Structure 1
Amino acid sequence: MNSRQAQFAIHLTALLFGLTGIFGELIQASATLITAGRALFATAALLLFIGHGGHRIVLPPRRSWRVLGLAGVLLAIHWTSFFVAVKVGGIAIATLGFASFPAFITLLEGVVFHERTRPSEWLVVGLVTLGLVLVTPSFDFRDQATIGLAWGVLSGLAFALFTLANRKAVAHMQGRELACWENLIVAALTLPWCFQEFTSLRPLDWLWIFMLGVFCTALSHALLVSSLARLNARTAGIVIALEPVYAIAFAAILFAQYPSARALAGGALIIGAIVWSGLRRANPESDATIAPASATTSKAPSPD
C-alpha cells in the first residue's frame, strides 16, 4: 500500500465508522441483539481474513486472558450503550456523545498509567466538556434526546477504558487476533440475553447486521491497520475524528435527522478540540501526551 492508497484507506475507515449509527437506526432489533450479531459476523470475517493471509489463530498467552476478558466486557458495554443511544436520542446525538472519548482517555490515562497530563490536554478536556454542554438538548432526563446523549457519553467512557485495556493486551498479541478474540468474547457475553430475538429478525435486518459486522467492524479494522503501515497514528486519528461529520451527514440525508444549531456548534467544538490535539501531537515540539480519536485504536478493533 502506497501513501495515496493509505490516505484513501483511512478516509474509507472513517466513512465506515460513520455508517455504524446508520445501521443501528435501520436494524429493527434491540441494542443487545445488534451488538451480538455484529460481533458474530465480525469474528467470522476476521477468522477468514486471518486464514486467507496464511496465518492461524492461536490461543492467547495465559497472562493475557484477564486483560483480554476485561477488554471484551468493555467493548460489549461500548457497543450496546452506543446502539441504545442511537435508538433513544438519534444518530447525531449518539455520535457526538461518543466523540467525547478522547477526553476520557486524557483523564484516565494519567490515573491508570501514571502519565502526566499537560495543560494543553486539560484545555482539550475543557473544550470537549463545553461542547457536550452545548450538545445537550436540555438538562431534564425526561427528555429522550438528553437520555440518548447520556448513553452516548457512557459509550465514550467504555471505549476509553477499552483502549486502555488494549494497551496491555496488544503487547502480547497481533492486532487482528486481538480483535477476533475480543469480538468472540462480546458475542459470548451478549448472545444469552437476546438469542430468542434472532428468530424474529427480518431478512433485511440480517443483511444490515451482516454489513455492520463485516464492513463497519472487520473491514474497517483491517483498513485501519493497513493504513498505519504508511501513516502515523496521529494522522490517522485526525481523519478518524471526522467520523461524527460523516454520521451526521448520513443521518440528515437518509432519515432527515437535523441537529440544532446549538448541537452543531457543540459538535464543532468537540471535533475541533480533537483535531487540534492531533495536530499538536503531530508536531514534535508539542507538549501534548494523549493521542486523539483512534491513535490508540490502531491497536484495537474498530471503535464503532
Structure 2
Amino acid sequence: MKQNSHLQHLVWLTLATVLISTSGSLGKYIDMPSPVVVWWRSGLATLFLFLFCRYKGLSLIINNNRDRRTFLLAAIFMAAHWITYFYALKLSNVAIGMLTLFTFPVLTAILEPLFSKVKFEPIHILLGLLVLIGIYILAPEFNLESTQLQGVLLGLLSALCYAIRILLLKSEVKTYNSSMLMFYQVAIMTVILAPVLFVMDSSNISTQYPFVIVLALLTTAIGHTMFINSLKYFKASTASIIGSTQPVFGIIIAYFFLNEIPTVNTFLGGSLILATVIIESIRSNKK
C-alpha cells in the first residue's frame, strides 16, 4: 500500500513537471509582446489562485511591513524572470530558452552566501564553470547580433532573476503557505505590469486567449501548486532532480507542437547544464 502511495505521488510530481514544461512552447507560440503575455498570465493566475486559497480557507494576511517589502521585491524579480524568459524563447528556441533558464539552481547556490549565513563552497566554482562551458556550447559564436546569443543571454538574465526571487522568499516559505505566496507574487505582478497594456499591442488577445488561459491555469496555477505540494512527500533534492527534466519535456513538446528540432550543440550543452543541476541536488541533500 505504501509503495502504491509513493508511486502515485511520483506520478503527480512528474505530471506537475510536464505541466510546467508547457511554458516553453506556449511562451514561444503566443503571438503577443512578452510583457503583455506575462500580464495576462499573472492576471488570470491571480484569479485562479485567489479562488483556490478561498476554497482551501488559506489565510491571506501578511504579518508585517518587512514581509510586504520582501513580497514586493520578489514579485518584481519574478516579473523580470518571466519577461526575459519569454523574450529568450522568441529570440532563440524552446530548447535554448529552457536550458539557459535551468542554470538557476547553480546561480542560487553561488548567490546564497550573500543572502544568508550559508558559507560559500568552492565546489560551486567548479559547477559554475561547467555551466559556463555548457552555455558556450549552446552559443559558440559571440556575436551580439545573433538572435541565438541574445536568447542565451536573456535566458541567463531570467535565471539570475529567478535565483534572486527564490533567495528572497526562502525565509517566507517557513511562515506562509506556498499557494498564498504564489497568489501574492502574481497579484503584485498584475498591478506593476498593468501599464504595458497601454503602451504595447494587446489586441491579439481575442485570438490568443485559449493559449493564455492554458498558460495561466495549467502551467502556472495547477502545475506550480502541484509541484510545491509534492515537497510534502519527497525530499527537496528528489523534487529538484525530477524538476530538472523540465527542459527535456519542454524540448519534446516543442518538437511535436512547434516542429523545433534540437541541434547536436543543444544536446551537448544542455546535458552539461542539467548534469550540474543533478550534481548540486544530490550533493546538497547529503549535508
Q: TM-score, normalised by structure 1?
A: 0.88
Q: Percent identity?
A: 25
In the superposition, relative to structure 1, how do residues 43 and 198 fare at CA in structure 2: closer, same or farther (>3 Å)? Answer: farther
Please point out which of 78, 93, 97 is paired with 1:90.
93
Q: Does 1:175 align with 2:178?
A: yes
SS of corresponding position for 2:160: helix
Residue number in structure 1 paired with 2:274: 271
Match of 2:241 in 1: 238
Name structure 1 gaps, 5 residues minimum: 287-304
The verdict on how the C-alpha distance between 1:51 and 1:213 changes in structure 2, with shifts beyond 3 A counting, is same
Q: Which moved more, 1:134-143 or 1:67-76?
A: 134-143
Is 1:41–2:44 an aligned residue pair? yes
Post-superposition shift, 1:259? 2.4
1:198 and 1:181 map into 2 onto residues whose CA distance is 26
Query: Separation in 1 of the partners of 2:256 and 2:210?
Result: 21
Residue from 57, 60, 64 that aligns with 1:61? 64
Q: Distance in 2 between matches of 1:184 and 1:237?
A: 26
- Alpha carbons 1:60, 1:173 under 8 Å: kept: no
- Work out the CA distance in 1 between the residues paired with 2:63 and 2:30: 33
Determine if contact 2:32/2:202 at 8 Å carries over to the other structure.
no
Q: Are the counterparts in 2 of residues 17 and 216 from structure 1 also a CA contact under 8 Å?
A: yes
Partner SS state of residue 197, structure 2: helix
Match of 1:302 in 2: none
* Equivalent residue, structure 2, for 1:188: 191
Q: Does 1:81 align with 2:88?
A: no
2:113 to 90, 110, 117: 110
Q: Deviations over 1:203-257 (max 9, x none)?
A: 4411111111111111112211221111111100000001111111112222222
- Once the two structures are TM-superposed, the CA of residue 85 in structure 1 deviates from its matched residue by 0.6
One-letter amino acid of the structure 2 residue matched with residue 163 of structure 1: I
For 1:164, give the aligned amino acid.
L
Letter in 1 for 2:256: I
Q: Distance in 2 between matches of 1:211 and 1:61?
A: 34
Deviates more, 1:243-252 or 1:114-123: 114-123
Contact 2:80 2:158 in 1 (8 A): yes
Query: Which 4+ residue blocks in structure 1 deviate beyond 4 angstroms?
Result: 195-199
The question of whether the paired residues in 2 share the 8 Å contact of 1:38 and 1:210 is answered with yes
Partner of 1:297: none
User: CA-to-partner distance for each residue in 1:113-137, whole Å, 9 max, x for gaps?
Assistant: 1422323333222211111111114
Alignment partner, residue 152 of structure 2: 149
Q: CA deviation at 1:172?
A: 3.5
SS in structure 1 opposite 2:170?
helix
**For residue 211 of structure 1, what is the aligned residue in structure 2?**
214
Q: Aligned residue for 1:32? A: 35
Structure 2, unpaired ranges of 5+: none
Tell me the C-alpha RMSD between the 2 structures: 1.8
Q: Structure 2 CA distance, aligned partners of 1:181 and 1:167?
A: 15
Question: Are the equivalent residues in 2 in contact too, given 1:106–1:125 (CA < 8 A)?
Answer: no
Aligned-partner residue type, residue 242 of structure 2? V
Residues 222 and 98 of structure 1: CA distance in aligned 2, closer, same or farther (over 3 Å):
same
Of 254, 258, 266, the residue aligned with 1:255 is 258
Cα deviation code 1:171-228 (max 9, x no counterpart): 4422111110111111111121124757512444111111111111111122112211
Tell me how many residue pairs correspond in the alignment.
Answer: 284
Amino acid at match of 1:277: E
Q: Shift of residue 26 of structure 1?
A: 1.6
Residues of 1 paired with 2:281 and 2:93: CA distance? 28
Question: 8 Å contact 1:137–1:145 — kept in the other structure?
Answer: no
Please state how far the C-alpha of 1:170 moved relative to its aligned partner.
2.7
